[in-house]
Structures are given as C-alpha cells and as structure tokens.
Amino acid sequence: MLIIPKNNGSISYVTLENTIIFDKGYLEMVKVVKFGGSSLADAEQFKKVAEIIKSEDSRRYVVASAPGKRYDDDIKVTDMLYSCYKLVKENKDIDEAFKLIEDRYNGIIKDLGLDFWLQPEFDRIKNAIVHHAGRDYIASRGEYLNSMILAKYLGYDFVDAEEGIFFTENGVLDTEKTNEELTKILKEHTHAVVPGFYGVMPNGTIKTFSRGGSDITGSIVARAIGADIYENWTDVSGMLMADPRCVKNPKVINTITYAELRELAYMGATVMHEDAIFPVREKGIPINIRNTNKPEDAGTMIVSKVDSNKVDTVITGIAGKKGFSVISIEKSMMNAEIGFGRKVLEALENHKICFEHLPSGIDTMSVVVNDNDFLPVKETLIADIQRKTKADNISVYNGIALVAVVGRGMAGVKGTAGRVFGAIGNAGINIRMIDQGSSELNIIVGVAEDDYVKTLEAIYNEFVK
Ligand code: ADP
Ligand code: ASP
Ligand code: MG
C-alpha cells in the first residue's frame, strides 16, 4: 500500500494492485484506531501509541485493549482477572492476585508521570469480584481501566462501551441499537477513547465478546462514526502469509479481501478476530493492520474487492489450528438412503455441537468437530449417531490439525490443489481429510497434530519461496 500525500493536503491510499481505497481531504478524514494488549502493555508502549495518535489529527476515536504481555512468559491482565474470578469460585482469597493487577496499572500511571488516581475504581472492582460479580464483568475491567488511563494521557474523553454497545437476550450483538446509540454518543465527543471487548446485556449486566474481541469493538466504533478507515495496531506489520510462530519470516500480505481475512482469522490467524470484519464490511470501511513498534510499515489493507488478475501469488495465506477429531461413519448404500445426513446432524444438534466440515464419499460420511465441544460428550454422541443411522462402522480419529490454504487467486487456476497435496506428500505427511469450498477461496486439509508445523512450512515453501 502506498500513502500518497498531495499538495492540497489531501491523501490517497493506493494498494499495490493500484486500487484506490480513498482519496479525500486530510482534514475531513476520521480514523478509528484500535490498539491491542501488546501495544498497551506498559508505559513505554503507551508513549508509542500516543505518538502514533498525535501524528495525525484524523486519529480521533481510539479503542483500547487491556495490558497484554510485556515479555514471553508475562501474564495478560485479562488472564489475571479470570484468575481472580476462579479464586473466588474456589472460596479463596484474592488479595495477592488483585494487588498484582493494581500494580500493573499503577506502574503505567507512575511511569507516564500522570497525576491520576484509580484507587476508588480498584476498590469498587475488588469488592464486586469478592461478592461474586459475573465472569464477563470481571474480565471487562481490564480494558475499562486501561482506557481510562489512555484517555487521561491523551486528553481525550472516556466513553464507556456499556453506554453504546448492546447485546440481545441471546447474547449476540444488537447491531441496530448499537449503531443508533453509539453514533449519537460519539457525535458528542470530537476525541474519545472507548474500551474494547465488552458491551451490555438488556438486563444491564456486562457481557464480553470472545477472546481477542477488542478487534470487534474497533470495527463497531468505526462503523458507528462512519470512519474512513479502521486502523488495527498490533505487534506485527500486518497479516502475514503464515503464523510467524510456525513459519520463519513469513511475507506480509499487502492487500486482502474481507472474505479471505475471515477464512484465515477463523482458521487460526489470530492477529484479527474473525468476527471483526462484519460491522465495517457493510459500509465498505477498509481495515489497515499496522505495527505499533514499526509505524513506518504500511501493514495490510483489508478491502471488499481486489482485482483477482493482480495477485502476485496464487495463494493469499495459510492458517491452521489443532484440536479436532474426525468422526467417520460407514454404511453400505448410504448414498441411496434419504435422510441419512439429517440423522447425523440431528445427533450433533442434540449434543449442541457445531461441525466444521462434512466431507463425504459414496458410503462414508465424515464429520470434523472441535475437541473442546466433542470430547466431553463423545460416548453419548457416538451412541446416538449409531442408534439413529444404524451405521456399519463408526470410527473416531483424534489429534487432527486443520490447515487452510486461502486465496482469491486460486479460483480457476488449474493445478493449485495438486501443488498443495504434492507439497504435503513430498514432506512425507499423510493427509487425513480434504475439503474445498465451492467458491474455491480455500482448500482445507486435516493432518495429524504432530505434522502441523511441517504442513504449514511445506505449503508455504511451495507457493512462496
Ligand atoms: P493484539 O494484542 O494486538 O490484539 P494479538 O496477539 O491478538 O495482538 O495478535 C497478534 C499476533 O497474532 C502476532 O503477534 C502473531 O504471533 C499472531 N499471528 C498468528 N497468525 C498470524 C498471521 N498470519 N499474521 C500475523 N500474525 C499472526
Ligand atoms: N483483553 C481481551 C483478551 O485478552 C480482549 C482483547 O485483547 O482483544 O482476549
Ligand atoms: Mg488481538
């Protein structure tokens, strides 16, 4: 992506594929900037964040996470808060654990030289935890307190997410109400910090999104204020072609579509929460993933459409995760038995299990499920499937990792699947499952968990090196 300042003070964002994202007067522009936990882990990081924000007048709405890890085996404040909840559940004292949380925030306040005092907030929160406050309320205090400090440091208003982000009775985001109310509230503030990760239920209790959910808050705020761009600042220079913890120095993806990002994020590219694209996608607001520690890097631009003739690699990225099982069901003449699939899915539904994939053959049907949901109900679920389908044989394969190869450039390019399978085969890895979406946006393979990293490397090297 190129950022082209013009003489008249306006600015153009042009992707490497020469798609102009926008071209607008600089002074009119509004950016929503979200900073993740590693970007706000200590005072040094706060200073970098403030410098980034102050370097452009357009960065007026800020979404903040709780303090994350300062070093590898550090503990995120969100996890420290979950531990306090657990201690209370076990009727244990939280004095020591809570003191560590206070120390994290007091350290930041002191090192920033702020004349600011959060003790009354600490006392109120600790009292609520001791009196069995809800798990989500407790976890949300990490972003609540950090955002108060950031607002003070920047001289921005603090706008609590519980005033403007609403969930329905079913615990899903109430998009309409949130948009309406949040837009009204934000219009009253020219500059504001909003805590990420949480909102409020109809009964007034706090509810959080799933882990990493501050990315969703950033997207909601961007949509509510009608931002020109949603910048998501983290500790890597964009969405990388593979998980940097598995593949050495993977390339940065310059431009990616919302659909590709969702696939990669869902399949384990945790740099961005997979649900964060929805609020901005509706309005076509581009997301720019940037690195707080290297603000000079252009990062990754996420947009609705990119000309597929202008891709430099056939694949856009690779992602994966461990912790799956394959339930393989065999029955002769399954192909002619009407309602067979329904019976299997009904058994899954009865056990409240979502399936990830359903690859099938003539007389076999496989169901790929997440171990977290499946293992606790394994015995009764298999018995239920057996009873309903009268299968000849049901086998379960545990310890499966799924790897997704994603790319808008794959559709219609002959031989892509062959190259994926060839690379995996040449690395001596046995493929346990294959699935390809009809949109040809992804190819998903299941391999043994022990082969996970080797599989990512083999595919990466085939297409990138
Ligand atoms: P934040 O605290 O800013 O929200 P996260 O830890 O949630 O940051 O996400 C950033 C991390 O995501 C990176 O440090 C990296 O280890 C991990 N990650 C996994 N897959 C990818 C990928 N494909 N591209 C970039 N980062 C990735
Ligand atoms: N602090 C929350 C978490 O650790 C939310 C976030 O960082 O986005 O999951
Ligand atoms: Mg994150």
391-402 confidence digits (pLDDT tens): 999 999 999 999
pLDDT at 312: 66
Flag whether the pTM goes above 0.75. yes
pLDDT at 224: 98
DSSP state of 245: T
- Using the structure block, give the residue that is written with the tokens 């798990």: 135
Judged by its nearest atom, the ligand closest to the C-alpha of residue 271 is: 1
The Cα 118–Cα 148 span in angstroms is 9
Mutate to test the pocket of ligand 1, among 210, 230, 236 (most ligand atoms within 8 A of CB): 236
Closest ligand 2 atom to residue 214 Cα is 8
Judged by its nearest atom, the ligand closest to the C-alpha of residue 145 is: 2
Closest ligand 2 atom to residue 37 Cα is 7
pLDDT tens for 45-65 read 999 999 999 999 999 999 999
Q: Which two tokens stand for residue 465?
A: 């090196």
Residue 12 predicted with pLDDT over 90? no
Per-residue pLDDT, averaged over 167-176, amounts to: 97
pLDDT bracket for residue 410 (50, 70, 90):
confident
Pick the closest to residue 100 from 59, 60, 142, 63 (CA basis). 142
Q: In this prediction, what percent of the chain has a pLDDT beyond 70?
A: 93
What is the length of the chain? 465
| Beta carbon of 214 within 6 Å of any ligand 2 atom | yes
Closest ligand 1 atom to residue 253 Cα is 24
| Beta carbon of 187 within 6 Å of any ligand 2 atom | no
pLDDT tens for 328-378 read 999 999 888 899 999 999 999 999 999 998 988 888 999 999 999 999 999
pLDDT at 35: 98
pLDDT at 313: 77
pLDDT at 310: 62
- 213 CA → ligand 2 middle, Å: 6
Mutate to test the pocket of ligand 1, among 270, 273, 290, 300 (most ligand atoms within 8 A of CB): 270
- 268 CA → ligand 1 middle, Å: 10
The Cα 457–Cα 439 span in angstroms is 25
pLDDT tens for 284-296 read 999 999 999 999 9
Per-residue pLDDT, averaged over 214-228, amounts to: 98
The answer to whether the Cα torsion of 46, 47, 51, 54 is positive or negative is: positive
Give the three-class secondary structure for 326: strand
On average, the pLDDT of the chain sits at: 92
pLDDT at 28: 75
Q: Which amino acid does the sequence have at 196?
A: G
Residue 117 predicted with pLDDT over 60? yes
Q: Around ion ligand 3, which residues have CB less than 5 A away? A: 36, 212
| Beta carbon of 66 within 6 Å of any ligand 2 atom | yes
Pick the closest to residue 337 from 318, 355, 364 (CA basis). 364
pLDDT tens for 235-285 read 999 999 999 999 999 999 999 999 999 999 999 999 999 999 999 999 999
Residue 14 predicted with pLDDT over 70? no
pLDDT at 116: 92
The Cα 449–Cα 114 span in angstroms is 48
pLDDT at 18: 46
pLDDT at 19: 47
Lowest mean pLDDT among 22-36, 81-95, 319-333, 366-380: 22-36
Residue 309 predicted with pLDDT over 80? no
Give the three-class secondary structure for 13: strand
Judged by its nearest atom, the ligand closest to the C-alpha of residue 232 is: 1
Phi, psi angle pair for 61, to nearest 5°: -120, 125
pLDDT at 8: 39
Mutate to test the pocket of ligand 2, among 39, 65, 206, 270 (most ligand atoms within 8 A of CB): 65
Per-residue pLDDT, averaged over 5-21, amounts to: 46
Closest ligand 1 atom to residue 212 Cα is 7
Lowest mean pLDDT among 304-313, 380-389, 400-409: 304-313
DSSP state of 359: -
The helix or strand, by DSSP H or E, that contains position 261, with its residue range, turns out to be: helix 258-266
Q: Edge-to-edge, what's the strand order for the sheet holding 364-370?
A: 355-357, 364-370, 317-330, 393-406, 442-448, 433-436
In terms of pLDDT, which residue wins out, 438 or 406? 406
Bridge partners, 402 (sequence order): 321, 446
Judged by its nearest atom, the ligand closest to the C-alpha of residue 36 is: 1
Per-residue pLDDT, averaged over 113-123, amounts to: 96
DSSP state of 159: -
The Cα 141–Cα 63 span in angstroms is 14
pLDDT at 202: 98
Q: Which residues, 6 or more positions from 113, have their beta carbon under 8 angstroms from its beta carbon?
A: none
